């Protein structure tokens, strides 16, 4: 992808300030990252902000990610001493699982409170993470009703708000925040592919070419099968491959249309499960 992708609108800077202001009220942070890009979707500014707070790293959208990769990412983070939960946020056990995990992280503190006679103090949790990672979806599951608006596009939540759950948590939803400058091109490209940055700020054909270069290495068969291509379809450049797919889809030479289809298919899981960040030990 030729262009350098960056997306840091004013509401994100404001949201970040609000997070900082509310941090002293919080017992625990759920840091949400996308299981398909556990590294690229981790906001270094959030990481720094919550440095001294107990945290639970939540790998969301695990149902869309390659489960083997997710397992090794989980082990990687646990080796760094982090508490990790792997989640399909929309699953039926989300509220139970997350409440249990939260109490586990704060076990020592809760025990200390209980010896002082303080029982069932609510646990105040801040949700943090990049846009579209599933914060509001998680909040809705925790409070067991639809209080927060969710949508499969970034930048849906614009305000912060506290909400109580029946399981003893108090949750602060927050808008997704990115950071002013991605450290490399790859990060922006991957965030664009999964839908964490606004679609209007990058070129779809560039994103589609990046997608094809990824599948060339990762799973060319998924592309061949999905678009009924010849077995040797990858014996050509990514640009020509995109043109072949465009034709196959009946879009003549409108490769932008094909690019949009590729992105939608990728995001909705029609190209199978995948993990874009695969470089770790």
Ligand X SMILES: Nc1nc2c(ncn2[C@@H]2O[C@H](COP(=O)(O)OP(=O)(O)OP(=O)(O)O)[C@@H](O)[C@H]2O)c(=O)[nH]1
Q: Which residues here bind ligand X, judged by CB under 6 A? A: 60-61, 63-64, 87-90, 129, 131-137, 150-152, 154-157, 175-176
The residue to which tokens 């109580």 are assigned: 164
Q: Which is nearer to Mg ion, 10 or 117 (CB)?
A: 10
Measured from each CB, the residue nearest to Mg ion is: 157
168 vs 180: CA distance, rounded Å: 35
5 vs 15: CA distance, rounded Å: 21
Q: Which is nearer to Mg ion, 161 or 239 (CB)?
A: 161
279 vs 281: CA distance, rounded Å: 7
Instruction: Find the helix or strand (DSSP H, E) in which 34 lies.
Output: strand 28-34
Residue 151's binding partner among Mg ion, ligand X, none (Cβ under 5 to 8 angstroms by kind) is ligand X
The full length of the chain comes to: 281
CB atoms within 10 A of CB 19: 23
Measured from each CB, the residue nearest to ligand X is: 176
CB atoms within 10 A of CB 180: 10
Residue 131's binding partner among ligand X, Mg ion, none (Cβ under 5 to 8 angstroms by kind) is ligand X
Give the shortest CB-18-to-ligand X separation in angstroms: 13
244 vs 222: CA distance, rounded Å: 15
Residues near Mg ion (CB under 5 A) are: 135-136, 156-157
Give the shortest CB-165-to-ligand X separation in angstroms: 16
Give the shortest CB-153-to-ligand X separation in angstroms: 7
Residue 90's binding partner among ligand X, Mg ion, none (Cβ under 5 to 8 angstroms by kind) is ligand X
Residue 169's binding partner among ligand X, Mg ion, none (Cβ under 5 to 8 angstroms by kind) is none
Residue 89's binding partner among Mg ion, ligand X, none (Cβ under 5 to 8 angstroms by kind) is ligand X
Give the shortest CB-230-to-ligand X separation in angstroms: 31
Across the beta sheet with 55-60, the strand order is 83-86, 55-60, 28-34, 123-129, 169-173, 161-164
Say if CB 226 and CB 270 are below 8 A apart: yes
Give the shortest CB-91-to-ligand X separation in angstroms: 7
161 vs 56: CA distance, rounded Å: 20
Give the shortest CB-182-to-ligand X separation in angstroms: 17
Residue 61's binding partner among Mg ion, ligand X, none (Cβ under 5 to 8 angstroms by kind) is ligand X
């Amino acid at each position: 992808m030729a262009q350098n992708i960056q997306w840091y609108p004013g509401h994100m800077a404001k949201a970040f300030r609000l997070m900082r202001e509310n941090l002293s009220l919080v017992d625990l942070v759920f840091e949400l990252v996308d299981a398909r890009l556990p590294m690229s979707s981790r906001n270094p500014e959030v990481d720094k902000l919550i440095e001294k707070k107990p945290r639970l790293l939540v790998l969301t959208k695990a149902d869309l990610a390659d489960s083997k990769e997710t397992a090794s990412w989980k082990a990687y983070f646990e080796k760094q001493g982090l508490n990790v939960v792997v989640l399909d946020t929309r699953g039926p056990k989300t509220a139970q699982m997350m409440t249990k995990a939260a109490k586990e992280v704060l076990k020592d503190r809760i025990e200390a409170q209980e010896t002082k006679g303080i029982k069932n103090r609510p646990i105040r949790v801040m949700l943090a993470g990049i846009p579209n990672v599933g914060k509001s979806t998680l909040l809705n599951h925790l409070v067991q009703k639809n209080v927060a608006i969710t949508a499969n596009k970034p930048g849906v939540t614009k305000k912060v708000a506290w909400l109580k759950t029946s399981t003893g948590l108090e949750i602060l939803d927050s808008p997704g925040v990115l950071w002013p400058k991605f450290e490399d091109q790859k990060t922006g490209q991957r965030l664009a592919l999964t839908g964490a940055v606004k679609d209007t700020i990058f070129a779809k054909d560039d994103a589609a070419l990046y997608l094809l270069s990824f599948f060339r290495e990762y799973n060319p068969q998924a592309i061949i099968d999905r678009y009924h291509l010849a077995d040797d379809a990858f014996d050509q450049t990514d640009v020509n491959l995109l043109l072949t797919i465009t034709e196959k889809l009946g879009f003549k030479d409108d490769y932008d249309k094909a690019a949009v289809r590729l992105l939608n298919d990728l995001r909705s899981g029609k190209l199978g499960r995948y993990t874009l960040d695969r470089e770790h030990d």
